[in-house]
């Protein structure tokens, strides 16, 4: 009887060792794996809200209407209505919350307009493009085209060709 | 033995199922996650790119960098624009100076040009993302609404994911030393706004929406156009849908 028990002695030890290893593994996991790991999958659940909580910089064009109603109205029925205010004036979320905190940029000169409108074979053919060296060189685009309603004639238009119309 | 009628058996089964349900057993499976009023499971985000409209102005690249504080250097991009030029004889050239952020000068050599066009690139937010599979620590993952995100606090900067991405959409952030990539502007889309690149696009090349909503811009786009994804043979199942590209775009 006592002999058979001692036969199991080494197995007992083995079981204790395995038990300790498993307990140790669980303890180490408990310490190092954050609580929210596996909340939704094989990652830290809290990372979702952290990604949500990053700061925003762009406001979109709609909020501008609250304070620049006239500009917004003109723009929203113009050829530039698909060009976001912030494409030209920069990221302005801070400005919409506190207008004096950020002075919006106002692109001047020709280069900025040419970013979109310079003649380029790779552009879709139906997009309005000009050859800068032929199209009124030396003059500011905004002298003739109101950026908020770029057709030279019509509301806010800045150009009526002398002798024509 | 036979003191249990079929009727009683069925009745008892039904009762025990109801009891289990009442105990809240399947609750976890059905649960909807709401984070700050955003119902995660009601969304599956998808993105469309209509190459026929792109003018290569790079406003998307600029807006992305500003919105997400991507380093200014010309080799870190979450989104960028490539110019394809196909020459007679089938040779295809691709260039993307500063990711297209400063626009593109006209091609100088137009002699044997067959066609040329711009292709905006971005993380494909794959249904089966290879980058997620290789991450050794679970620091990059696909969110329940289908966006592949990074957990910068958990990332060890080993670059496996950068190597694994077939689309070259990841980079190692030079200051934080962690992997960084497009998040569809997760901070914006979870508040009902569009990603900064979509907001900035002046021509409607880029569009975005909820694939679970029949009438979203992305579903209307997929229905109306013949759309393709990049490298479909890899089985990654991208959620960026392109219209107007040929097989030479990779």
| Per-residue pLDDT tens over the stretch B195-233 | 999 999 999 999 999 999 999 999 999 999 999 999 999
**Is position B237 within any domain?**
yes
**Which residue of B52, B66, B85 is in closest CB contact with A91?**
B66
A56-106 belongs to which CATH class?
A: mainly alpha
- Number of Cα atoms under 13 Å in the Cβ half of residue A159: 15
**Which residue of B57, B188, B203 is in closest CB contact with A56?**
B188
pLDDT in tens, chain A (165 residues): 555 567 778 888 999 999 999 999 999 988 888 888 888 889 999 999 999 999 999 999 999 999 999 999 999 999 999 999 999 999 999 999 999 999 999 998 899 999 999 999 999 999 999 999 999 998 999 988 999 999 887 666 665 444 333
**Which residue of A41, A47, A60 is in closest CB contact with B199?**
A60
Chain B 159-218, CB below 8 Å of chain A: which residues? Answer: 183, 186-188, 190-191, 193-194, 196, 199-200, 202-204
Residue A125 touches partner B, C-beta closer than 8 Å: no
Q: What residue in B sits closest to A48 (Cα-Cα)?
A: B143
Element spanning B228, H or E: strand B227-228
CB atoms within 10 A of CB A131: 10
Interface test with A, best of B39, B51, B62, B63 (most A CBs within 10 A): B63
**Which residue of A51, A91, A121 is in closest CB contact with B113?**
A121
| CA B155 to each of CA A125, B71, B135, B137, B187: distance values in angstroms, whole numbers, following the listed order | 45, 18, 9, 7, 20
| CATH 1.10.287 intervals, chain A | 56-106
pLDDT tens track for B6-65? 898 899 889 988 887 776 554 455 567 888 889 999 999 999 999 999 999 999 999 999
**Is position B12 within any domain?**
no
Q: What is the pLDDT of residue B26?
A: 46
**Which residue of B63, B143, B154 is in closest CB contact with A58?**
B63
Return the CATH number at B125.
Answer: 3.30.70.20
pTM of this structure = 0.89
| Contact flag B154-A124 (C-beta cutoff 8 Å) | no
Interface test with B, best of A38, A46, A87, A131 (most B CBs within 10 A): A87
Q: What is the ipTM of this complex?
A: 0.82
- Identify the domain containing residue B49 by its residue range: 31-250
Residue B85 touches partner A, C-beta closer than 8 Å: yes
Residues paired with residue B149 on neighbouring β-strands, in sequence order: B141
Interface test with B, best of A37, A39, A51 (most B CBs within 10 A): A51
**Is position B19 within any domain?**
no
The alpha-helical segments, DSSP class H, found in chain B are 6-22, 27-30, 59-68, 130-134, 160-164, 186-189, 196-200, 217-224
Q: What residue in A sits closest to B33 (Cα-Cα)?
A: A40
Contact B210, B44 (CB under 8 A): yes
pLDDT tens track for B128-155? 999 999 999 999 999 999 999 999 999 9
**Is position B18 within any domain?**
no
| CA B136 to each of CA B19, B133, B144, B182: distance values in angstroms, whole numbers, following the listed order | 41, 8, 20, 20
**pLDDT grade for B234, boundaries at 50, 70 and 90:** very high
Taking one residue from A and the other from B, the number of pairs with CB-CB distance under 8 angstroms is: 127
Count structural domains, chain B.
1
**Is position B170 within any domain?**
yes
Q: What is the 3-state secondary structure (H, E, C) of A30-84?
A: HHHCCCCECCCCCCECHHHHHHHCCCCCCCCCHHHHHCCHHHHHHHHCCCCCCCC
């Amino acid at each position: 009887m006592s002999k058979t028990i001692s036969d199991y002695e080494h197995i007992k030890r083995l079981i204790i060792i395995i038990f300790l290893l498993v307990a140790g593994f669980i303890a180490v996991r408990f310490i190092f794996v954050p609580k929210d790991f596996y909340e939704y999958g094989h990652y830290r659940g809290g990372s979702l809200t952290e990604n949500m909580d990053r700061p925003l910089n762009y406001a979109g064009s709609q909020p501008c209407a609250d304070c620049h109603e006239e500009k917004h109205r003109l723009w929203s029925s113009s050829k530039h209505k698909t060009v976001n205010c912030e494409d030209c004036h920069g990221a302005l979320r801070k400005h919409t919350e506190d207008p004096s905190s950020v002075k919006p940029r106002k692109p001047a000169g020709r280069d900025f307009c040419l970013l979109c409108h310079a003649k380029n074979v790779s552009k879709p053919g139906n997009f309005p493009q000009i050859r800068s060296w032929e199209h009124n060189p030396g003059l500011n685009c905004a002298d003739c085209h109101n950026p908020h309603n770029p057709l030279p004639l019509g509301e806010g238009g800045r150009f009526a060709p002398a002798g024509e119309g | 033995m036979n003191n249990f009628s079929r009727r009683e058996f069925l009745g008892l089964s039904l009762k025990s199922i109801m009891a289990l349900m009442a105990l809240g057993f399947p609750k976890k499976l059905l649960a909807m996650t709401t984070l700050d009023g955003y119902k995660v499971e009601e969304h599956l985000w998808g993105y469309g790119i209509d190459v026929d409209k792109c003018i290569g102005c790079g406003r998307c690249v600029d807006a992305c960098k500003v919105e997400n504080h991507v380093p200014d250097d010309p080799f870190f991009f979450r989104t960028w624009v490539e110019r394809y030029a196909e020459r007679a004889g089938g040779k295809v050239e691709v260039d993307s100076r500063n990711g297209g952020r400063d626009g593109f000068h006209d091609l100088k050599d137009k002699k044997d040009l067959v066609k040329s066009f711009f292709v905006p690139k971005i993380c494909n937010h794959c249904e089966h993302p290879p980058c997620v599979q290789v991450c050794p620590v679970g620091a990059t993952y696909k969110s329940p609404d289908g966006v592949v995100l990074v957990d910068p606090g958990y990332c060890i900067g080993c670059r496996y994911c950068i190597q694994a991405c077939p689309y070259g959409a990841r980079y190692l952030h030079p200051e934080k030393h962690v992997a960084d990539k497009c998040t569809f502007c997760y901070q914006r889309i979870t508040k009902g706004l569009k990603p900064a690149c979509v907001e900035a696009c002046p021509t409607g090349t880029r569009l975005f929406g909820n694939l679970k909503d029949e009438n979203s811009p992305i579903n209307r786009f997929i229905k109306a156009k013949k759309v393709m994804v990049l490298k479909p043979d890899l089985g990654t199942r991208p959620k960026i849908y392109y219209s107007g590209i040929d097989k030479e775009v990779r």
